[in-house]
Homo-oligomer: A and B are copies of this chain.
Amino acid sequence: MRVTQQDIARLANVSQATVSRVLSGDARVETDIKDRVMAVISETNYQIDVRARSLRSKRTGLIGLVVKRPPGGLNDDPFFANLISHIMDFLAGRPYHLCVEMVSSASSQEAVYDELLRTRRVDGLILVESEARDERILRLQAEGFPFVLIGNPVEERESTIWSVDNDNVLAAKTVTEHLREAGYQRVGLLAGPKGITVSDDRIEGYRQGMSGSDCDDLVWHCDFGFLAARDTASDILRNPSRPDALLVLDDFMAMGVVLAARGQGLVIPEDLGVASFNDSSLCDLFERGLTSVSLNIPQIVRTACGRLLKIIEDKPIYGPRRMIIPTELCVRGSTTRRDV
């Protein structure tokens, strides 16, 4: 059957308790005994049973990642895959594994949070939140469950929730100014659905970047995904008073805008400037490159995961509850006209 610490103990002529101590690196056990036990362990190819350890130690060694999925759709936005990739990088070599959860509806999200919380399947959660007010988070908090939010905790919760985010307002302001400085006269914004925090923040930053000029009629909302963006952009660009530059919520949607522009014979960046967020690999797929704001995902992940593990392991955390990771504007061909 299965090798247990009992078996090891018997073979090494020690007690099961000692085997456990050796495995957990207890300093008190004599060197020769430790060697003897280690020898038997490697001979027998023993590995600890994580199920038993979980029960006893109250730790599962699992980190949960909860991402919201566009309703009915898939997560083919490279942002998602990138996130997972970087989390795996961080976790590699550490005694934690990643458990991915996806939620679409708010009710399923409720259920998932509740299950994860009460069944203790994971030691902690990384939440990637987009919707502004989320009562479920309050529950996690009330129960003292370890979690870190990637995103904006909004208002009053700022000081009580551990979160990692970019300054989306500033980033949007910066890229908007870049577009105006590049010579575009009517800079528009293609935002996400209403009520999504990250979108709202960028709208705010866009407004700041448009300082003074009235720009409310240059803001459009649109569902996630590049197909929806393509269709919306088609409508926008068909209008005679169309913008001559579009700031788009993310790269994936921006690719839709590129398609729409091409479909109407508009040349990027001459007839239409395009910039967006995420700086994913998609940006290089566009001929002369897509100008985009890098969110610095590796650092976001490092910070978020690092903090989560500290919370789980009850270690002190230095720094503010809300960590802001600097963004970087990556200027590429989609906003650099050759003739200006």
Residues facing B in A277-315 (CB within 8 A) are: 280-282, 284-285, 287
| Proximity bits, A31-64, B CB within 8 Å = 1, else 0 | 0000000000000011111111011001011100
> With A51-B54, A119-B49, A259-B287 as given contacts, are A84 and B84 in contact (CB-CB < 8 Å)?
yes
Please state if A121 and B101 are interface contacts (CB–CB under 8 Å): no
Does A88 belong to the interface (CB within 8 Å)? Answer: yes
Is B284 touching A227 in the complex (CB atoms < 8 A)? yes
Q: Indicate whether A55 sits within 8 Å of B51 (C-beta atoms), given known contacts A85-B74, A85-B75.
A: yes
Q: Which of A92-100, A125-133, A193-201 is near enough to bind chain B? A: A92-100
Number of interface residues of A (CB under 8 A): 53
Cβ B85 vs Cβ A121 within 8 A = no
Question: Of B51, B74, B102, B108, which is within 8 A of A51 by CB?
Answer: B51
CB distance from A98 to the nearest CB of B (A): 5
- Contact at B226–A47, with CB atoms within 8 Å? no
The verdict on A60 contacting B69 (CB below 8 Å), with A98-B100, A99-B99 known, is no
A99 contact from B62, B115, B280, Cβ within 8 A: B62
What B residues does A282 contact at CB under 8 A? 285
| Interchain residue pairs A-B with the least CB separation, the first 5 | A47-B118, A81-B81, A51-B54, A74-B85, A88-B102
Which A residues form the contact surface with B (CB < 8 A)?
Answer: 45-52, 54-55, 58, 60-62, 69, 74-78, 80-82, 84-86, 88, 92, 97-102, 108, 114-115, 118-121, 226-227, 255, 258-259, 262, 280-282, 284-285, 287
